[in-house]
């Protein structure tokens, strides 16, 4: 089986998202993503503010939680499948695995937030500013607990993968050798997405420890929401 086969499944999942065909839903989705980003910045302010954590924090907020314009990335992945045989020979396998996991997380975040956006559109006027209370109630109605916990488990796996593979000088050197081909065939967006996995590692002692701290706090928030805590997002 092709090492890139998983990307085809991810593309199918991405194209099935409803916001591609619904401008109102798309706008609400962007507002949900903005709330998520702001909430995480508040919740993890101390952790994210540590100097060596700042690049990784930016990777979380702008790569893994819906900040990236995935239309451009999806288009490049689709084209890449036509070069799959050549790409697999050039791109280190562990870089492909880690990059695919990052893309999986990003699409999962969008899917979960799209569900939230759809529920908000049913329950509130379109132009209602999103509040913590609206999100608390919406999370309860949707009962996304298991999906959100799966998301955090995948994040833990990503932390392990980043430590295990993306610190390797040999793998990074082999990956950098692909840059010329990426530029020649216009795969810059995908190359940069995967390259970020290497870049975030430089200042960190351990990606696993960074992620574990983050996911522990997020699991606590999920537990509070579903236990009926009225202020689960309080700092």
Asked if residue 67 has pLDDT above 70, the reply is no
CA–CA separation, 137 and 34 (whole Å):
18
Q: Would residue 69 be called left, alpha or beta, if left means φ above 0 and alpha means ψ between -120 and 50 degrees?
A: beta
Of 163, 175, 196, the closest CA to residue 67 belongs to 196
CA–CA separation, 159 and 218 (whole Å):
15
* 172 phi and psi angles, rounded to 5 deg: -65, -40
Of 1, 177, 171, 189, the closest CA to residue 78 belongs to 189
CA–CA separation, 196 and 113 (whole Å):
23
* 139 phi and psi angles, rounded to 5 deg: -60, -40
- Beta carbons of 55 and 203 less than 8 angstroms apart: yes
Tokens describing residue 42: 């508040």
pTM of the model as a whole: 0.85
If pLDDT is split at 50, 70 and 90, which confidence band does 97 have? Answer: confident
**Residues 18-28: tens digit of each pLDDT:** 999 999 999 99
Higher pLDDT, 64 or 91: 64
For 55, residues 6+ apart whose C-beta sits below 8 A from its C-beta are 199, 200, 202, 203
If pLDDT is split at 50, 70 and 90, which confidence band does 163 have? Answer: confident
Classified as helix, coil or strand, 207 is: helix
Maximum distance among all alpha carbons in the chain? Answer: 54
If pLDDT is split at 50, 70 and 90, which confidence band does 85 have? Answer: low
The whole-number average pLDDT for the span 145-152 is 95
Among 66-80, 147-161, 207-221, which stretch is predicted with the lowest mean pLDDT?
A: 66-80
CA–CA separation, 229 and 4 (whole Å):
43
Asked if residue 126 has pLDDT above 70, the reply is yes
**pLDDT value at position 10?**
83
**pLDDT value at position 101?**
85
Asked if residue 91 has pLDDT above 70, the reply is no
CA–CA separation, 34 and 170 (whole Å):
38
If pLDDT is split at 50, 70 and 90, which confidence band does 1 have? Answer: very low
């Amino acid at each position: 089986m092709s090492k890139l086969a998983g990307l085809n499944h991810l593309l199918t999942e991405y194209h099935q998202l409803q916001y591609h065909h619904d401008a109102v839903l798309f706008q609400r989705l962007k507002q949900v993503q903005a709330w998520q980003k702001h909430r995480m910045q508040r919740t993890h302010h101390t952790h994210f503010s540590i100097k060596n954590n700042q690049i990784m924090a930016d990777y979380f907020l702008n790569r893994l939680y819906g900040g990236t314009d995935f239309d451009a990335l999806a288009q490049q992945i689709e084209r890449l499948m036509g070069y799959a045989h050549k790409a697999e020979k050039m791109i280190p396998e562990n870089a492909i695995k880690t990059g695919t996991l990052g893309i999986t997380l990003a699409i999962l975040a969008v899917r979960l937030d799209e569900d939230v956006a759809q529920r908000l559109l049913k329950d509130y006027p379109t132009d209602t500013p999103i509040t913590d209370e609206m999100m608390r109630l919406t999370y309860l109605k949707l009962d996304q607990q298991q999906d959100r916990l799966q998301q955090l488990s995948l994040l833990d796996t990503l932390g392990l993968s980043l430590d295990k593979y993306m610190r390797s000088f040999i793998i990074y050197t082999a990956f950098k050798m692909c840059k010329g081909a990426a530029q020649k065939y216009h795969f810059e967006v995908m190359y940069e997405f995967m390259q970020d996995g290497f870049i975030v590692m430089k200042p960190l002692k351990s990606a696993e420890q960074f992620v574990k701290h983050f996911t522990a706090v997020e699991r606590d928030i999920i537990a509070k929401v579903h236990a009926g805590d009225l202020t689960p997002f309080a700092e």
